[in-house]
Every structure is written in C-alpha cells, then in structure tokens.
Amino acid sequence: MSNNCLSEMSSRKKVKILFVSHASGLHGSERSLLHLLKGLDKQKYEPLVLLPEDGQLRKRIEGLGIEVIVYPVERWIAYSREYSRRHFKKVFRGLPGRVRFLSRLIEKEKIDLVYSNSIVVIDDAIAAKLRGVPHIRHIRNFLFDNPYLKPYLPMLLTSVLLKTLSCRIIVVSNAVKRNCNFDKPGSSNGKVKVVYNGIDIDEFRAGLTSCDGNELRAELGLAQQTKIVALIGRCQDEKGIREFIEAVKIVTPRFSNTVFVIIGQKYKRTFHKFEEMVTKLGLQEKIYFTGFRENLFSAYRSMDVLVSASWIETFGMVIAESMIAGKPVVATRCGGPEELVADGETGYLVPAKSSEELAGAIARLLDNPQGCEQMGRLGRERASKLFRVEQYVSSVQEAFDKAMEQTRPRFNREELTEISRAVFKSLPKLSEQALREVFRKIRNTGKRRASRTAMPFETSSEKCVQSNV
C-alpha cells in the first residue's frame, strides 16, 4: 500500500471495512456475522456489508443501522447440489466483471479492509489484492472431504489461493485448521488464527427465561413428565439422522417415558426416506419431526439431552447453545464437537456413524438424572468461558488490527511462485507464462476504471437496477 494511502487512512478516525457474505439467510455463519457486526467497535470501525441477494440477514443488518449493498457474488467453491459445467462457466466467465465491480466499490467507498465471511467466495479477495487492500478470510467450513462443498479447482491450488490472497485467516476450530492443511510447519506463515464462534450469553439466557419449559411438550401433546432427547439439524444424511433413528430403536424399549425429537428443515429429497424408516421401525409414537424453528429457546428449555450425530461438523453452534442452556450433550467425534464437549464431564463423545455407540451414550445419560444435571452445570460453565460473544468480537478485531499493520504488495514474486508451483502440480499442461497472462488480464481489469462510470448496485438507502458485466 502506498504512503499516500497510509497517510489518508491515518487521517481518518475509523477503519472502513467491507464485509462480504456468501448468503443472505440466517444459518450458522450468517448468525455469527450478525454477532460480529452487533458487537463491533463502531468508534473504531465503519462497516459496509455486501450480500448476494435480499433476505432475512439484510433486514437484521439494516436494523443495526448498517448500510447493505446487494450484488450477486458467485461461489468458486460450489455447493454439491449446484456443481456442474454450467455453474463452472457462470462462475469463471463472470469473474473479471465481478472483480471490476468490487474493485470500483473499494475505491469509491474508500475501503480500508475487506472481510470474507466464508470460504466459498473469491471475487472480493482478488479485488482487494489488486487494490492493495488487506483481506481477511473467515473459514467456517471444511475444505477437504466435505460432502456439502466441491471446489472446481484442484485442492492444492485452492488451498494455495486461499493463503496467498488473504493476509490473515480466521478459522472456527482447530479441526478446520487441520483440514485446510494450515497446521503444517511453514504452511501459513502465522496467518491463521483460531477463533471460536461467540454467543451473546446474556441475551441467550433472557431468551430462555422468556419461554415455558414445557412449551415443546404442550406443542407435541406430551405429558409434563415426559423426557425429551432432541437432535437439532437439517434432515440430511450428513447430520446423522439415520444413525439417530437406529439409536432410538435400540434404547426405546428401556425408556418408555422418553420421546425423541428431530428439529430441522425437512428437505424433500431426504426427509421422506427418514419418515419411511421411522414407520418401518414402528417408532411413529417415539420420534417427532418438528421442521425448522427460527426460535429454539423453547426447545432448549424443554429438552433433557441434546444429540449431535453429524458425520462432519466444523464447530457446532447448537452444541454450544445447548451447553449454555445447561443441557448434557452426546456428540460425534467429527471435528469441532471434540473441542466443545469435555468427554465424560459435559457429555459424551462417540464415533461418527455408529448407532450402537450413540445409543449407549444416550442410555447412560437417561439412566443417571443426577449425572445429567451435573454435566449440564459443568457444560454451562465451560461454554460461558469459551464462547462469549465479547471474546469472539475482540479476537476478530485483533485480526483486523494486525492486518492493517502489515504491508501489502499486490502480487509479489513469492506468491506468484507458490501459485505457479501449485498449478504445475495440479494442472501440468498449464504453463507459468499462461498463468502470468491470466494475472495480467485480471490486473488490467482492475485498472480500467477511470474512464467508466461505477457499476450500478443496490444499497439500503438507494435502489438501482443491477446489470450484468
């Protein structure tokens, strides 16, 4: 970054940050972004948020008094369901235009720092690099062996681009750090920082106290003394729904006064097979599907045990929230939960995809009500120390400050060499000269701005017609 830019930044009171979200819903990553924006030190930072479309997240952010821009960024790491040649062409053919838009936005809004809330968008990182503006990436997903995501580029090249385009990387758990190969000596050069997701504990407890502890039981037509074992997650294979149902079949003969509730979105392509499985096993009166619930406070109050049977989990926000609610947890050893749950103290950890082990852990808790209460208390204490939103926001802001202290050449020789080596290993037919030509074209795309007007976009205060580049 030039001395003129540094002097201009020092003369301004606030650091202006462009926050880029890959989604506009209210799932885990978006909720964490909301926590960050809400707790951000507004005396020090000025946020501007870019969303790919309208949605619930936009309303929540604007409710905080923060300006929102709507512009359709694309996922260079695709969702498995959208992975196709058509989507590939859409992503990479439109990349120069999207980079040009973001480059102009960075210039127009005098952005000092760009923050990506996910691993799946690269447009903003390229634009920031070309502008010499620091970029921070917050990785909340596994890169390798992830059934939900599928990179178009080879894994080695994807990993190298993630490292070279960002000056700081935040990961939500040590499991994510290992999965992305950032834990190897010299692999990240101190760029990577583990920051657990945060929860506003005071707000969360207020939400709990506002609910009746028997609300879910009344909704399901259950007696007040009925125990509830709940799994909160989408009705998909990767959430371990099949293993949970099989575990219920094993334990239910011993616990006639217990029901099992699955809370989460009912995906058409998978829900019916789980419903049929419940019917086939004769568990219609033992297992309830409630569907998606935006407000989970009544569920946390009503449940006696939380089960997380996922095959993979980078963190486990539902686990952390259940612990704050004082509930013991049975979770699988699949990444993040191993860092949240203290095995034998706040719950039990079992192997993933093992219905027998899952059933055994559930039975141990149901057999020991006093032990459940003690585990819940210890879990609340542990979560209150590890997952406070204040700690989360402070750690992310520390990453902001360190990023602003670094010198940031646009593309240096070392970075191009590292990318070239990754390309040679991944795509042997692509020459270094061809790679340099690609970067030259991207650079030129970022430079062709002076004679053109800014690309139209939609903000929370001004709605314009969007156009494709």
pLDDT of residue 190: 79
pLDDT digits (tens, 9 = 90+) for 344-363: 999 999 999 999 999 999 99
From the list 177, 195, 196, the residue with the least C-alpha distance to 187 is: 177
pLDDT digits (tens, 9 = 90+) for 415-430: 556 555 655 565 554 4
From CA 64, how far away is CA 61, in angstroms rounded?
5
84-93, 333-342, 354-363, 441-450, range with the lowest pLDDT: 441-450
CATH of 3-198+390-459, one of 3.30.70.2740, 3.40.109.10, 3.40.50.300, 3.40.50.2000: 3.40.50.2000
pLDDT digits (tens, 9 = 90+) for 175-207: 999 998 888 766 666 789 999 999 999 999 999
pLDDT digits (tens, 9 = 90+) for 105-126: 999 999 999 999 999 999 999 9
pLDDT digits (tens, 9 = 90+) for 151-170: 988 888 888 888 889 999 99
CATH fold, domain 201-387, is Rossmann fold (3.40.50)
The pLDDT of residue 465 is above 50: no
Q: What percent of the chain has pLDDT over 70?
A: 83
Q: Where are the domains of the chain?
A: 3-198+390-459, 201-387
pLDDT of residue 213: 83
pLDDT digits (tens, 9 = 90+) for 132-152: 999 999 999 999 889 889 998
pLDDT digits (tens, 9 = 90+) for 236-273: 999 999 999 999 999 999 999 999 999 998 888 889 99
pLDDT of residue 286: 97
Structure token pair of residue 36: 């960050």
Q: What percent of the chain has pLDDT over 90?
A: 67
Better-predicted residue by pLDDT, 409 or 347:
347
Average the pLDDT over 453-465 and give the result: 43
pLDDT of residue 144: 87
Residue 452: pLDDT band with limits 50, 70, 90: very low
Question: Model-level pTM?
Answer: 0.83
Average the pLDDT over 65-82 and give the result: 93
pLDDT digits (tens, 9 = 90+) for 257-316: 999 999 998 888 889 999 999 999 999 999 999 998 888 999 999 999 999 999 999 999
The pLDDT of residue 453 is above 50: no
Q: What is the mean pLDDT of the chain?
A: 86
pLDDT of residue 445: 54
From CA 17, how far away is CA 250, in angstroms rounded?
52
pLDDT of residue 293: 87
Average the pLDDT over 40-60 and give the result: 95
pLDDT of residue 159: 84
201-387 has the same fold as 3-198+390-459? yes
pLDDT digits (tens, 9 = 90+) for 86-105: 998 899 889 989 999 999 99
pLDDT of residue 32: 93
pLDDT of residue 466: 36
25-34, 196-205, 389-398, 453-462, range with the lowest pLDDT: 453-462
